[in-house]
Amino acid sequence: MSRAQNETYLLPFDNRIEINPALAGLNKNSSYQTGNQYHFVNSEQTYNLFYASWDSYSNKLKGGVALNFSQGMLSGQNISTSAIGFYYSGFPIKINNSRILLSAGTEVLAATKHWAVAFLNNVIPHDNDAPIEQGESFFRYYIFKPKFGFLWTNNSLQIGITSTVLHTRDVAFSLIEPTTTLGYTLYVSKKVDKRVRDLYSRPFEMSPELVVFYREEATIARLRLLAEYTDKTWGAFVQNDFTNHISTLGGTIGYRHNFMRFNLNAGMGIPGISDYNSFMCELSLNIIVPPFSHSKYNPWAPAKN
């Protein structure tokens, strides 16, 4: 039971804070990301994850701050999860044209019975063992997750590592001892700009991205290539779920308008390589607002420190 999957281990495409909290308030931007990812593995394993995060740069704290909320479902265990976290990113170290940012924060996840299971447990008589094999308690377990992030960035490349301490405390079965494990997430992203005669021309911007997610219960790696046009986004990705032996091939389509971006990511398990004919999709909304510096009387003047 200690190795049973106890989180909705889905790797969001567009929740940057979940991947690396050091991205909070990067370049003094304010952003909001929300989306929902659904993953069908087989008839006994389906997972769903809703997420919403907000981050911004704080002049008073001299760094980025972020709030992250998620709600998931594990169909195999009839478990629902809810998590909320707070993070701070700062302590910049400048090296030539690059910066190093450090982040720290914590997240708390609470797991409960799925509402339908809880309802049936109250309706069906207790002399029937099958509906109540999970036990009487509505709350199943808690996971406390302190996170520490590292990010090296310049104008074209970002490399980050996030380390997570997972302390799991079971409340449904008192005989199970609390456990503490470690998890890591590697994030690499590069922007490929098109230069014409020493001038930058950007009809589109290419962004290769690599994310490697490791936990004791799950290991996932994803390579994605995005081409962002003025108002459109196209892309392709390959994701390997080493735990369930699933290799997924998929694509990304999106629409951009001012500060808003709508993206749809969808893919299927590759037949002959994957153990299951799985399917996954994620619909997301991203709002990224850059900082504004405008003076009514001197509009072209730079911002004062």
Is 297 contained in some domain? no
Instruction: Report yes or no on 253 lying in a domain.
Output: yes
Q: What is residue 119's three-state secondary structure?
A: helix
Number of structural domains (the chain) is 1
Tokens of 199: 């001038």
Q: Which of 69, 33, 12 is nearest to 287 (CA)?
A: 33
Residue with tokens 């799991």: 168
DSSP output for 242-289: TTTTEEEEEEEEEEEETTEEEEEEEEEEPTTTSSS--EEEEEEEEEEE
- Do 109 and 143 form a contact (C-beta atoms < 8 A)? yes
Q: pLDDT tens digits for 72-126? A: 998 877 889 999 999 999 999 998 889 999 999 999 999 988 776 666 666 665 5
Residue 238, domain extent: 16-289
Decide if 2 is inside a domain: no
> Does a structural domain hold residue 142?
yes
Q: Which residues pair with 224 in a beta bridge?
A: 209, 237
- pTM attached to this predicted model: 0.85
Residues 207-260 pLDDT 10s = 899 999 999 889 999 999 999 888 899 999 999 999 999 999 999 999 988 889
Residue 300 maps to a domain? no
What's the N-to-C CA distance of the chain in angstroms? 56
CATH number at residue 240: 2.40.160.40
Per-residue model confidence as pLDDT tens digits over 157-179: 999 999 999 999 988 777 778 99
**140 lies in a domain?**
yes
| Number of other CB atoms surrounding residue 193 within 10 Å | 12
Domain-located, residue 107: yes
Where are the extended beta strands (E) located within 96-132?
Answer: 98-113
Residue 170: other Cβ atoms inside 10 A: 20
- The reply to whether 31 falls in a domain is yes
